[in-house]
Amino acid sequence: METGFCLLGEFEQQQRGENVGKFRIGIFNGDYIGPEIMAEAVKVLAAVGEKYRHQFDLVYLEASGEAYDKYGEHLPRITLERASECDALLKGPFGGPPEDLHHPKWANVEKGAILPLRKHFNLYTNLRQTRVLPALEALSPVKVDVVHGVDLLIVRELTSGIYFGAKQSRVVDGERESSDVEAYRESEIRRIARKAFEYARHRRGKLTLVAKSNVLVSSVLWREVTEEVAREYADVSLDYLHVDNAAMQLILNPRQFDVVLTNNMFGDILSDEASVLSGSIGLFPSASLGDSRFGLYEPIHGSAPSIAGQDLANPISAILSVALMLRYSFECLPEASAVEQAVETVLAQGHRTADLLPAGVAVGTREMGDRIVQAVHST
Ligand code: IPM
Ligand code: MG
């Protein structure tokens, strides 16, 4: 995809001689199913622009496979420069097929593009919400009476911990040894703990810290700092679970959770687990935020090479990423709710992409996008 501009809602704006908001959005199409699902997300964004009279300027940015082909690296400087001129970033999944993971095009996409992107923009707060929609309850691998009504938010630390700690590989006593260091500073815990308490305050007032303080000193620090921060939030109740128990409780009684605060590694694992409570990882967006309104919005799933190019992928994760961007970066709350409502309406009507079958009528990626666009216009 050529890097360039495209204006959405411009015609509408000229006609009315005004526009409510003007936002510049950096788009990473991503690999394999990425461009297919991002195209649907962009259609939905255009519908929101028309309906609510916003101007969304789209800047296509190159990273991962596309950038590797052109520049020989996964996240070129020029991409970061252009990204920093945007109000928010919307990203498709990065990564290659499992059988090609040693090919230089795909080896280290995570370390070469995903992690540096998060780090560069200091996006230390990662939000992953799991809501079990009534229309999809029956798809859950967990019993309907257990998942009914689940609405939980995982607040995952995203720019520190074992992902970014010192790494070492060496030979000791004639055998290979490798290590990754889990290190957190109290300031890194405090800033994300505050965010988690704020979210809990505006939801159901309950925060669960998840760590492993019976074994890890870094987890002891998470508990200490989070308990200190709790004193600023008398209206939020704080409890604590070890991560192994939390993984079990997510299946046994997921309704007990409101907001879950956890480190980078545990958040990665628990958010995949939580996502399938609702039936499919293909539904889930995430938001990554720092100290400003700037944010990165992306599906939590990968690039699914095996179904790419067949109009099979579920675009809802990318479409709901648009909703999160509208809410957190642009403070367009009615617009965000309209997108979420449109998704719920289309699912309630029984339309299903392949990942959501066997129940319902099968629709392709494009048709799902078109139906959600229509629903945005009619909400
Ligand atoms: C995620 C992904 C990434 C992560 C990978 C692709 C590096 O699993 O966003 O959850 O581990 O953070
Ligand atoms: Mg993950």
Domain boundaries, the chain: 1-121+294-379, 133-278
pTM for the predicted model, two decimal places: 0.91
pLDDT in tens, 145-167: 999 999 999 999 999 999 999 99
User: For the domain 1-121+294-379, what is the CATH superfamily, name and number?
Assistant: Isopropylmalate Dehydrogenase (3.40.718.10)
User: Does the pLDDT of residue 81 top 60, yes or no?
Assistant: yes
pLDDT in tens, 191-245: 999 999 999 999 999 999 999 999 999 999 999 999 999 999 999 999 999 999 9
pLDDT value at residue 359: 59
pLDDT value at residue 3: 33
Q: Kindly give the residue spans of alpha helices, DSSP state H, lying in 178-242.
A: 186-201, 217-230
Helix axes 316-328, 365-378, angle to 10 degrees: 40
Match domain 133-278 to its CATH number in 3.40.50.1980, 3.30.2290.10, 3.30.70.380, 3.40.718.10: 3.40.718.10
Residue 212 is among the residues annotated as catalytic for this protein: yes
Higher pLDDT, 378 or 2: 378
Q: Which of 28, 31, 109, 110 to mutate to test the pocket of ligand 1 (most atoms within 8 A of CB)?
A: 110
Residue 69 structure tokens: 């082909």
Which residue puts its alpha carbon closest to atom 12 of ligand 1? 268
Q: How far is the CA of 268 from the centre of ligand 2 (A)?
A: 4
User: Does the pLDDT of residue 177 top 70, yes or no?
Assistant: yes
User: Does the pLDDT of residue 16 top 50, yes or no?
Assistant: no
Domains 1-121+294-379 and 133-278 share a fold: yes
Q: How far is the CA of 53 from the centre of ligand 2 (A)?
A: 35
